[in-house]
């Protein structure tokens, strides 16, 4: 006659339940990974200046969502290094909206339109990005004139507070002599270019040019991550 130890039976039952939980978690994780692989659109809007999107998270998004074609992250604290990871990493990306995101200067746009990742962009929205620099917008439009961003059809660099100057983002630019809007519209009449800024000292009105139907710092964790 075999005498069952009730304590051992309890331990065995608990172990079996734990193993079943692990199996179910693995199944759920596999289904989640498949869903990520098939994800084509990602939209997230954050009120205020959210700093939760770190560089490693950006890398994970790129690695797990290779089919992503539309990306809208509004209101995040996004340094240019993070944006470059996303825009260059998603090889099929055609729609990007970083409206009201904090810390974007536009540096990520350099050498982007002619390279893999970024060259398929059709819509680029950088409206009301507080740190967006006048000089980076000018470089972007010069690249468009030079033949980069061949698929670009809609560009919004409008800013209700004006663009940031090169040396000090507190110094705002409301009208610019270095942004070649007219030349862009002549070279690429197929582009809808929004470049709406208030007159200096006013947030009430804006100017619209041509065919408008109307456009540096690292977190400690980002710096450590990039140094690897």
Q: What is the pLDDT of residues 111-135, one digit of tens each?
A: 887 666 688 999 999 999 999 999 9
Return the closest-CA partner of residue 169 out of 127, 129, 131, 202. 131
> What is the Rg, in whole angstroms, of the alpha carbon atoms belonging to the chain?
24
Confidence of residue 149 (pLDDT cuts 50, 70, 90): very high
Q: What is the pLDDT of residues 177-199, one digit of tens each?
A: 788 999 999 999 999 999 998 87
pLDDT at 13: 61
User: What values do phi and psi take at 181, rounded to 5?
Assistant: -65, -50
pLDDT at 197: 87
Asked if the model's pLDDT at residue 38 lies above 70, the reply is no
């Amino acid at each position: 006659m075999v005498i069952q130890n009730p304590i051992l039976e309890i331990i065995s039952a608990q172990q079996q339940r734990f193993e079943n939980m692990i199996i179910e978690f693995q199944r759920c994780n596999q289904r989640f990974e498949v869903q990520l692989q098939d994800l084509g659109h990602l939209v997230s809007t954050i009120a205020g200046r959210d700093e939760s999107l770190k560089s490693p998270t950006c890398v994970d998004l790129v690695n797990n969502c290779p089919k992503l074609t539309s990306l809208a992250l509004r209101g995040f604290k996004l340094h240019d290094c993070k944006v470059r990871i996303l825009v260059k990493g998603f090889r099929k990306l055609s729609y990007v909206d970083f409206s009201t995101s904090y810390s974007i200067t536009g540096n990520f746009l350099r050498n982007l339109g002619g390279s893999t990742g970024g060259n398929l962009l059709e819509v680029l929205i950088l409206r009301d990005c507080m740190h967006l620099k006048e000089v980076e917008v000018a470089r972007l439009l010069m690249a468009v004139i030079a033949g980069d961003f061949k698929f670009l059809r809609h560009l919004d660099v409008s800013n209700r507070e004006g663009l940031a100057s090169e040396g000090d983002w507190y110094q705002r630019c409301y009208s610019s002599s270095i942004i070649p809007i007219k030349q862009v519209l002549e070279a690429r009449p197929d582009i809808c270019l929004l470049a709406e800024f208030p007159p200096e000292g006013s947030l009430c009105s804006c100017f619209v040019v041509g065919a408008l139907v109307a456009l540096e710092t690292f977190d400690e964790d980002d710096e450590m991550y990039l140094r690897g």
